[in-house]
Amino acid sequence: MVTPEVQGIDLFKITNRSISGWIPNLKMGAAVRQLFCSQLEERLLLWLEYHPLVVNYARGDIDPEFATKYRLPIPQHASFAIGYTFESKPHHYLPDVVDTLANGTLFIC
């Protein structure tokens, strides 16, 4: 079965809201900005930034066009869609953040 391509989202267009802010992401090798849309996302990103087992992290729900436009890092396989079925209909979940742990494990938040 071939999975259809899932487009990432434009965070400036979801529910007619804009982003809440940016935090620096120093784990990407150079200081880059990571955006957040809520206080919960901000806290998650800060936790990932300072956790010693997290090697790097990036948004998992944005598409490459949005990332390029705003100079954001994106995971290698972005947008990172996870397929599931609800009420016999296929859906896709786009995680807020995809990160890599020190042992090479991919972690989805």
Rounded to the nearest integer, the mean pLDDT of the chain is 78
Q: Structural domain boundaries of the chain?
A: 14-108
Examine the pLDDT at 53 and tell me if it is beyond 90: yes
* Residue 7 scores a pLDDT above 50: yes
Q: Say whether 2 sits in a helix, a strand or coil.
A: coil
Q: What is the pLDDT at residue 52?
A: 94
**Whole-prediction pTM:** 0.74
Sequence-separated (6 or more) residues with CB below 8 Å from residue 67: 59, 73, 74, 78
Between 66 and 87, the more confident residue is 87
- pLDDT score at 41: 87
Dihedral pair phi/psi, residue 43, rounded to 5°: -65, -40
pLDDT digits (tens, 9 = 90+) for 17-48: 566 788 888 887 677 788 888 888 899 999 99
Reported as a pLDDT band with limits 50, 70 and 90, residue 12 is low
For residue 108, the model assigns a pLDDT of: 86
User: Within 10 Å of residue 43's Cβ, how many Cβ atoms?
Assistant: 11
Cα angle 91, 73, 59 (rounded to 5 degrees) comes to 35
